[in-house]
Amino acid sequence: MITIDSDPLAVVLCFIVMLAWGSWPNTLKLCPREWRFQLFYWDYAFGVLLFSLLMALTLGSVGEHGRGFFQDVAQATGQALLLAFLGGMVFNCYNILLVSALDIAGIAVAFPIGVGLALVIGVSSTYCLKPEGNPLYVFSGLACIVVAVLLDAVAYNRIPSQGPRNTQKGILLSLASSVFGGTFYYLVAASMAAPLEKVSPMEAGKLGPYSAVVFFALGLVASNFVLNTLVMWKPFAGEPVPLGDYFRKGTPKLHLIGILGGLIWCVGMSFSILASGRAGPAVALGLGQACTMIAAAWGIFIWREFKSARRGTSKFLGLMFLFYFLGIGLLIVSVLLTTET
């Protein structure tokens, strides 16, 4: 399989992760309102699985390092397979809540709150699992990100209420999503073998990065038949969504948009997992989750989600960007200091 053996390349991959994870919600925004997010989400899940298999059968099955995809799966323990699968199920709980919040409150609110707090939980938990990166800079960076999340919540409260849309529901769904979002990456990281440069030959019984993402995707798709079906029957906002609408209202273009959203997100997940071998899972997750500010920028400047906010809101948004990028900068410094030592 193809592995990452360069710290600069690992950081570049993390920036691609940032762009991918911050931009995929735009595919949902491209859909008409009658194509409810629950319908979009079926295609999104299939897109994630499709790209994970594509990566596993290509980059994960060639090269001189490690094990090929099928060999890797054959030697893995049931525990490793289950951990990656559970990671996909937990992620699905997180993402459905996050997309529900996005549908109610918009990208610029759901992402900084839901993803920002998930980042804090996720980096903390993965750091405890594999403590890589200078702890002073890692946790100082997380503190800055918490401040950025609070500033975003303040800015959102300055948007006039629009009836059933209500501020509280959007924020509460974002907060609820962060609980699940902070644990899925820990589960996937726990299923994986140590990087080749640290343990040679490749650690037996654990999964390589490509196989871990495939079983993660399988957990996502399998759980979708329960979780997304429930959200169709009992949505957080609006009327129930008949399953038949997926076939009656779905056009090839709409299905392709959803699959594209899943493909873009899985590019981020695959690259993040690959980069974690060099930077450590905590730092790789932290750098990739700068996607929050990419998503916020889309929501603020392209979709104009704060255009009706009271005067003075821009200063809170400016401070939000400042503290978030300061936090991400501290995480990058933690990687550089670890590399030097």
pLDDT band at residue 338, thresholds of 50, 70 and 90?
Answer: low
Helices (H), 37-183: 37-57, 69-75, 78-105, 107-110, 116-129, 135-156, 167-181
Averaged pLDDT for residues 117-144: 80
Average pLDDT over residues 191-201: 69
Whether the per-residue pLDDT at 279 is higher than 80: the answer is no
Domain ranges in the chain? 7-131+163-291
pLDDT for residue 29 = 86
Question: For 61-64, which contacts have Cβ atoms below 8 Å and span 24 or more sequence positions?
Answer: 61/1, 61/210, 62/1, 62/2, 63/1, 63/2, 63/3
pLDDT surpassing 50 at residue 84: yes
Q: What is the pTM of this model?
A: 0.84
